[in-house]
């Protein structure tokens, strides 16, 4: 079996470290690992397959000989270095929002639009975490009943904002001073209806991502999306209350059976026995958990559901590694030597 030289950019961050776990667990054919981070991590090592591998400080030369570069070091790092890595011969899978809406860059969730990987120019974008879990849950329903409108409210975990935010939550819970807060308000015992910056239309960038990325991944510009995104004091796992309006009528039993067989979905829908998705149970799992299925009596062809997934796994690291696996399957990775 061929083995690949794999770079992980942001290898000391929450997503990057999870990528190393996922590459190991899935036995991804890594011949050589190149962990990369900022100058702050000079001298550190990354733990991979029982070895401690020195972290390299990012530079233009660090991508020489790399076949696949998994980026999770923020938008500005991706904007600068993803084209450099691609020019050096690597295929980049980028977790930041830098390239997602570029018409020449595929935005991919393997359970939904793997065919988009057949046409790439060296950079592939991994979608936003809240969008990934939503489209995995909705794709089979869209194929069968055609979604007209999605109203979604999110309950997003603190790990979605990186290691600084996890530190803020831990410090606030233990009563310690927060040296360098990630949020403009306390997050412990609080909810912040504020994820990323706000635009003139009153929506946040996270809400815009849910609108535009959903349409791009599902390949349907007619889907209307009305999002409200909220940060909650949960460590891992985003939850979403989703209301759907379909073009076509549906039966709840058929919806259950579609979801039970949908790739990447685990149905947990037995509320009378207290069975429904929860972030504590979804943490460190790769699936998208769906439950609380109910007809919406206030509209024709309306459905309510509750969707939970680990943002660091399916929302980031797992989806990225799955993209790399599909690239290998489709012969869409070229060895640099």
Ligand X SMILES: NC(=O)c1ccc[n+]([C@@H]2O[C@H](COP(=O)([O-])OP(=O)(O)OC[C@H]3O[C@@H](n4cnc5c(N)ncnc54)[C@H](OP(=O)(O)O)[C@@H]3O)[C@@H](O)[C@H]2O)c1
Interface positions with ligand X (CB under 6 A): 10-16, 37-38, 40-41, 58, 72-75, 77, 95-96, 129, 159-160, 162-164, 311-312, 315-316
Identify which of residues 77 and 134 has a Cβ nearer to ligand X in the complex: 77
Task: Report d(CA 274, CA 269) in Å as an integer.
Answer: 9
Identify which of residues 79 and 148 has a Cβ nearer to ligand X in the complex: 79
Give pairs for 24-28: CB < 8 Å, separation 24+. 24/48, 24/49, 26/321, 26/325, 28/321, 28/324, 28/325
When CB distances to ligand X are compared, the closest residue is 13
Q: Nearest approach, Cβ of 109 to ligand X (angstroms)?
A: 12
Q: Nearest approach, Cβ of 13 to ligand X (angstroms)?
A: 2
Q: Is 47 a catalytic residue?
A: no
Q: Is 194 a catalytic residue?
A: no
Q: What is the 3-state secondary structure (H, E, C) of 88-114?
A: CCCEEEECCCCCCCCCCCCECCCCCCH
Q: Nearest approach, Cβ of 217 to ligand X (angstroms)?
A: 14
Which pair of tokens denotes residue 200? 């003139």
Q: What is the three-class DSSP state of 144?
A: helix
Q: Nearest approach, Cβ of 316 to ligand X (angstroms)?
A: 4
Q: What is the three-class DSSP state of 150?
A: strand
Q: Nearest approach, Cβ of 269 to ligand X (angstroms)?
A: 25
Identify which of residues 264 and 315 has a Cβ nearer to ligand X in the complex: 315
Task: Report d(CA 128, CA 249) in Å as an integer.
Answer: 30
Q: Nearest approach, Cβ of 52 to ligand X (angstroms)?
A: 16
Identify which of residues 207 and 269 has a Cβ nearer to ligand X in the complex: 207
Contact 171/177 with Cβ under 8 angstroms? Answer: yes
Identify which of residues 270 and 284 has a Cβ nearer to ligand X in the complex: 284
Axis crossing angle, helix 252-260 with helix 129-145, rounded to the nearest 10: 130
Contact 129/315 with Cβ under 8 angstroms? Answer: yes
| Active-site option among 120, 142, 208, 238 | 238
Q: Nearest approach, Cβ of 273 to ligand X (angstroms)?
A: 31
43 Cβ contact list (under 8 Å, min separation 6): 55
Beta-carbon neighbour count of residue 243 at 10 Å? 18
| Active-site option among 120, 129, 142, 208 | 129
- What count of Cα atoms within 13 Å lies in the side-chain half-sphere of residue 164? 7
Identify which of residues 95 and 243 has a Cβ nearer to ligand X in the complex: 95
Residue ranges of E strands in 12-67: 30-37, 45-48, 51-54, 56-57
The widest CA-to-CA distance across the chain, in whole angstroms, is 60
Nearest Cα neighbor of 79 from 49, 54, 101 is: 101
Identify which of residues 122 and 315 has a Cβ nearer to ligand X in the complex: 315
Catalytic residues: 129, 238
């Amino acid at each position: 079996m061929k083995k690949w030289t794999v770079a992980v950019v942001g290898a000391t961050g929450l997503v990057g470290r999870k990528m190393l776990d996922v590459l190991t667990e899935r036995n991804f054919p890594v011949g050589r690992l190149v962990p990369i981070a900022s100058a702050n991590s000079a001298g550190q090592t990354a733990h991979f397959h029982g070895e401690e591998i020195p972290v390299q400080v990012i530079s233009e030369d660090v991508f020489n000989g790399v076949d696949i570069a998994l980026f999770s070091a923020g938008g500005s790092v991706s904007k600068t270095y993803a084209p450099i890595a691609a020019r050096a011969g690597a295929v980049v899978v980028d977790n930041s929002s830098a390239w997602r809406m570029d018409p020449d860059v595929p935005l991919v969730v393997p359970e939904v639009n793997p065919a988009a990987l057949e046409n790439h120019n060296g950079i592939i974008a991994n979608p936003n975490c809240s969008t990934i879990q939503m489209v995995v849950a909705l794709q089979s329903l869209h194929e069968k009943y055609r979604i007209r409108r999605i109203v979604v409210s999110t309950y997003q975990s603190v790990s979605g904002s990186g290691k600084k935010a996890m530190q803020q939550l831990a410090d606030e819970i233990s009563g310690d001073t927060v040296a360098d807060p990630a949020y403009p308000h306390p997050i412990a015992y609080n909810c912040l209806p504020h994820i990323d910056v706000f635009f003139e239309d009153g929506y946040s960038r996270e809400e815009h991502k849910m609108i535009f990325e959903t349409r791009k991944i599902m390949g349907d510009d007619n889907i209307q999306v009305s999002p409200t995104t909220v940060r909650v004091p949960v460590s891992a796992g985003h939850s979403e209350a989703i209301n759907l309006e379909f073009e076509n009528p549906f039966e709840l039993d058929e919806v259950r059976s579609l979801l039970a067989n949908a790739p990447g979905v685990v149905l947990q829908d037995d509320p009378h026995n207290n069975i429904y998705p929860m972030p504590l149970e979804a943490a460190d799992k790769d699936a998208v958990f769906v439950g609380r299925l109910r007809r919406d009596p206030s509209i024709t062809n309306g459905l309510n559901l509750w969707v939970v997934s680990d943002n660091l796994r399916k929302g980031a690291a797992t989806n990225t590694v799955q993209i790399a696996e599909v690239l290998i399957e489709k012969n869409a990775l070229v060895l640099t030597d």
